[in-house]
Structure 1
């Protein structure tokens, strides 16, 4: 029996709404806003291009000390691992790890996520 951490499941940001509260997820998103007082990021991603823009609020209070200033800038692509939560029907993710995605190939990422099609 393993006592290690629960693995995360890779999702598209737009599919996080179908996840149950408490699920550990991993996803990619582009910083749209940083709420300094609330310790939260709003990340966005529009995939497929014909779909509406998807956003999610990510609570970064527990990882803020490890983030670099540029990772909070609007337009930065970030990888996030965290737990799905809901507050008054609003979806959010409590981050346990956040890191810069660098020069990510967004199309290749989208294709890889589509090929995995996680179960909920």
Structure 2
């Protein structure tokens, strides 16, 4: 077949309209506050969320950190990211991850500060992305998130 015949038979690709309910690419994360997840953890189970929290404890054996915001806290599994992370107790961090249901939380056994927070029991945040929030104004951030969630 000659090049001319190939070009004549060429039909441009048509863009297909995305079907409703069909996802193309990774799912976006849902911004949330730890207090929202604490009050309705089953709703967030299996969903990708973005959270702000302060690191209160770290257990290198289980590769989990405990992050808190206000009075609520959640265990974060950082086992997939551990080789790339640099953090200190007291750092404010953003975490994007999946909320998974677990049978046992490690916090009561391994985290010394867990008694000071309302732990989201039976759930862990499996971190996909974890980064330092720097010098964030936590009160302003919380107000902006609450305003965004209301709209």
What is the TM-score of this pair, normalised by structure 2? Answer: 0.68
Which of 2, 21, 35 aligns to 2:59? It is 35
Question: Secondary structure of 2:35's match?
Answer: helix
CA distance in structure 1 between the aligned counterparts of 2:80 and 2:59, rounded to whole angstroms = 15
Which structure has more helix as a fraction of its residues? 2
Verify: 1:104 aligned to 2:136, yes or no: yes
For residues 1-120 of structure 1, the aligned pairs below 5 Å read 1=18, 3-17=24-38, 18=40, 19-46=43-70, 53-68=71-86, 71=87, 73-88=88-103, 90-117=122-149
Q: Deviating runs (4+, > 6 A) in structure 1?
A: none
Question: Secondary structure of 1:38's match?
Answer: coil
- Root mean square deviation, CA, Å: 1.4
Unaligned runs of 5+ in 2: 1-17, 104-120
CA distance in structure 2 between the aligned counterparts of 1:67 and 1:92, rounded to whole angstroms = 18
Give the paired residue count.
109
What is the TM-score of this pair, normalised by structure 1? Answer: 0.84
- Alpha-carbon distance, 1:20 to partner: 2.9
